[in-house]
Structure 1
Amino acid sequence: MQRFTLEQLGTLLALMEEGTFDAAARRLHVTASAVSQRVKAMEQASGRVLVQRTTPVALTAAGAVVLRYARQVELLEADTERLLQDAAPAGRPARVSLAVNADSLATWFLGALAPVAAERDVAFDLHREDQEHTLSLLRAGAVMAAVTSSHETIQGCVTEPLGRMRYRAVATPAFVDRWLQDGLATLSQAPVVTFDRNDDLQDAFLRAQAGRPGAAPRHVIPASNDFARAVLLGLGWGVLPEQQCLEEIADGRLVDLAAAHPVDVPLYWQRWNLSSPLLDAVSAAVREAASRDLWAL
């Protein structure tokens, strides 16, 4: 296999981030035909189809491998420039793509990134995904590190524990009076708030407490802060991170439905096994924030 050029790798990155040949061409200040020719040259060099010509474009399995390589080269190039110049090149911040679940993003994760952004010329590209599905982005090469609930290490990466994110099953006092007069025995029939179709926290809590999933109406609220607000407004009961409900429990706006049975979700940090001062700094900041804001595993 012939080696890919930096121009070709940069073109693949632009194509996948922009979604179409025309958009990638505008970003690179070339024609769409030039973008197509570069991708075709990469496919000829590798002997594999890398990109599915759909709208938006999609990677093949081989394309995901090359995309990951392109991101690693981009990161190493940025690190090298900074080491040689002892400062970031003007107008070219290093781009760090990360995958993180919505609850971490809404509570503790941004606080981890803030010190890195204050000290370095960096642009974060965050992909919000359920903690059980962030690994797929890492495996596909779309991100260089991820917060995940799986300790299984994918090839080419290293994993370290972050801690446990603790959740509480909560509802408003008025909701409890209306739907839960007999306690958790009727919880499976009470309206519930869920984050999206992949959100299993509420059902897991019901299985643990009542031995069965719920059959009640579900309000789907696909944004962490709005999800918490929906519970606080009484639309249904829900399982919230402690950071989003402890104050409300303390002042009586929410009721902890099972104070002795919190829901703990273990979180892990999985990143490329690649020597990079920038990625090392991000990992150290995430590790420090997790030790402060999460429960120990």
Structure 2
Amino acid sequence: MRLQTEHLATLLAIVDLGTFEAAARHLHVTPSAVSQRVKALEAAVGQVLVVRAVPCRATTAGEALVRLGRQQLLLESETLAVLAPARGARVDLPVAVNADSVEAWFADVLPVVAGWDDVVLRVHVEDQDHSARLLRSGEVLGAVTSDPTPVQGCSTEPLVTLRYLPTVVPALLERHRRGRRVDWAALPVVRFNAKDDIQQRVLDRHGVAEPPPTHEVPDGHGFATAVRAGLGWGALLEAQAAPALASGELVRLGARDHVDVPLYWQRWRLASEPLDRLSAAIRTAAATVATPGRPPGSGRSARAGRPARAATSTTRHTPR
């Protein structure tokens, strides 16, 4: 059985763009031609490859072919860039990064990539669970994740440990004091989204089983703004919280409470000079934000789902 390159490229376009019609426009063919190519590919492998929904997505079998198609596209674009540099061919580098890394350090990667004339960087801002799925499906070549266990076909390396501090505006804290104690069960909290468990891990440490009033603000900058506005308490990146703590705009909840999140870089095990270059830039940028007392890459050795709980901290698995 031989797989045709144009069929793999068509499958890749459908998964990337979400619909047969969008893939047809991208490939400059008719939607009927796109449909025929997918059917031919499915007939060749004897399995359904695309879930016909909005947006379309690859089946498990389809994900394997998407990975193959992405690898072919990467190698082809690298080869064309070498053979015909004057034509301005660029290598497509899709990666997944959690929102807090974008806020804390990944922005330092962008000026480096800006100096390269041979790549196109596509950043997916996703949480850890989804970034692993994007790696498995072949939608991205690399991902910043809190899971040290590599996705099949990928390598992994430790990057940095981010530290979060639970913070609150003084007025809100005073309204929820009971003598010298904080009423954690009544103190409103802000979380990034339903997958953000960092605040709950602090609450677990204080024995709060039932969630307090919980606001959701699914935006990195908006989350910090909501905490500073007094909407509720929230765990901010240490560097993000420092100015407001110094000025008294925010106070820290629990002098010893913090949450450390080890992050890792996972990438396809594929010989690619542009991907190697990007990995080096990511490694360098992450090294600038080492948590005090914990050098870059000094994260937990336990597998995801088996957190190592320190006496004065909690471990969070789903970074914002």
TM-score range, shorter chain: over 0.9
Specify which of 235, 240, 250 is matched with residue 244 of structure 1. Answer: 240
Report whether the alignment pairs 1:89 with 2:87: yes
Structure with the larger helix share: 1
Which position in structure 2 is the counterpart of 1:49? 48
Percent identity, please.
47
Letter in 2 for 1:115: V
The CA deviation string for residues 47-76 of structure 1, in whole angstroms up to 9 with x for no partner, is 221112222212110001111111111111
Which position in structure 2 is the counterpart of 1:22? 21
My pick for the range that moved more, 73-82 or 113-122, is 113-122
My pick for the range that moved more, 212-221 or 245-254, is 212-221
Q: CA deviation at 1:202?
A: 0.2
Give the whole-Å Cα distance in 1 for the aligned partners of 2:181 and 2:228.
Answer: 19
Report whether the alignment pairs 1:212 with 2:229: no
Contact 1:172-1:255 within 8 A present in 2 as well:
yes
So what's the TM-score if we normalise by structure 2? 0.87
Instruction: Report the 3-state secondary structure (helix = DSSP H, G, I; strand = E; otherwise coil) of the residue aligned with 1:203.
Output: helix
Give the whole-Å Cα distance in 1 for the aligned partners of 2:135 and 2:163.
Answer: 24
Which position in structure 1 is the counterpart of 2:133? 136
Question: How many equivalent pairs are there?
Answer: 293
Q: Which runs of 5+ in 2 are unaligned?
A: 299-320
Cα pair distance change 1:43/1:176, threshold 3 Å: same
Which position in structure 1 is the counterpart of 2:229? 233
Report whether the alignment pairs 1:2 with 2:12: no
The list of structure 1 runs, each at least 4 consecutive aligned residues, that deviate by more than 6 angstroms after superposition, is: none
Give the whole-Å Cα distance in 1 for the aligned partners of 2:179 and 2:94.
Answer: 48
Which position in structure 2 is the counterpart of 1:148? 145
Which position in structure 2 is the counterpart of 1:79? 78
Q: CA deviation at 1:129?
A: 1.5
Which position in structure 2 is the counterpart of 1:201? 198
Q: CA deviation at 1:242?
A: 1.5
Specify which of 274, 277, 301 is matched with residue 278 of structure 1. Answer: 274
Cα pair distance change 1:220/1:184, threshold 3 Å: farther
Q: CA deviation at 1:181?
A: 5.3
Report whether the alignment pairs 1:160 with 2:157: yes
My pick for the range that moved more, 252-261 or 68-77, is 252-261
Give the whole-Å Cα distance in 1 for the aligned partners of 2:140 and 2:181.
Answer: 41
So what's the TM-score if we normalise by structure 1? 0.93
The CA deviation string for residues 107-156 of structure 1, in whole angstroms up to 9 with x for no partner, is 21121232023223322222222134421211121111001111111211
Q: Which runs of 5+ in 1 are unaligned?
A: none
Which position in structure 2 is the counterpart of 1:58? 57
Letter in 1 for 2:143: A
